[in-house]
Amino acid sequence: MSEQTPENTENLPSAGEPTPKAPVFEEKKGMWSRGSSDTSGYNLLDRELAMPGASQPPFGEPFDAIYNRALEVVPELRGALVLFDRGELTIYVPREHLLKTVAQFRDDAFLRFEVCMSVSGVHYPQQRGAELHSVYHLMSFTHNRRVRLEVSCPEEDAHIPSVVGTYPMADWHERETWDMFGIIYDDHPALTRILMPDDWKGHPQRKDYPLGGVDVEYKGAKVPAPDNRRSYS
């Protein structure tokens, strides 16, 4: 096996100081399902599920410079959670400061993240009070850099400001995240479903969404819908 070089180690976990262990919100057995047997042996796995702990600088350049400049132009980010892992920097932004943050990240001459490449959602039903997350991948063409912003909100108040006013190309991304996860992007110009029919009930990519489905018929065979398939034990 060839010796690893700095060029091919950036996708490995951070080798800096270990981050404090976050509280474990669930223990799971197996890989593919809730403890049911399979022939791969993965059903023997025991896993602890927890949110990532906070990372502490230095992260290395250019991430230290990005983070330090972000604190200068958006002082409200001081004390916010930051995660640096596998060569990627994630800054967790309070939703009330999201619009100021993206405006500064776009317009500041040092940061200059001109493009929001994608907006996606995540559902953590075990994270009480912050079950829904909206994730923004920003790209700087000027400096050839990337950074990730993440905003959370509770299911009971699933509102996050829309960034379409700053990044117009986020329009369809926010519609898809609303469609799949139910995050309401306030002041979006047309927050309607984009994948599911307009009268669809619920948001299919939430973890607590029922599998449901319809039977699929082939010539001489029928595959039952996921909620009617045989369960293995």
Confidence of residue 22 (pLDDT cuts 50, 70, 90): low
Greatest C-alpha distance within the chain: 66
Mean pLDDT of 173-191: 97
Exposed / middle / buried, residue 131 (Cβ in 10 Å: 0-12, 13-18, 19+): buried
Cα–Cα dist 103/93, whole Å = 13
Cα–Cα dist 52/21, whole Å = 8
- In the predicted structure, residue 153 carries a pLDDT above the cut 80: yes
- pLDDT value of residue 14: 52
Cα–Cα dist 111/143, whole Å = 8
| Sequence-separated contacts (24+) of 135-138 with Cβ below 8 Å | 136/102, 136/163, 136/170, 138/102, 138/105, 138/113
pLDDT in tens, 57-100: 999 999 999 999 999 999 999 999 999 988 999 999 999 999 99
Q: Using an 8 Å Cβ cutoff, are 160 and 181 in contact? A: no
- pLDDT value of residue 165: 97
Single pTM value for the model: 0.79
- pLDDT value of residue 1: 43
Rg (CA), the chain: 21
- Tokens standing for residue 119: 């907006």
- pLDDT value of residue 18: 47
- pLDDT value of residue 191: 96
Exposed / middle / buried, residue 201 (Cβ in 10 Å: 0-12, 13-18, 19+): exposed
DSSP 149: E
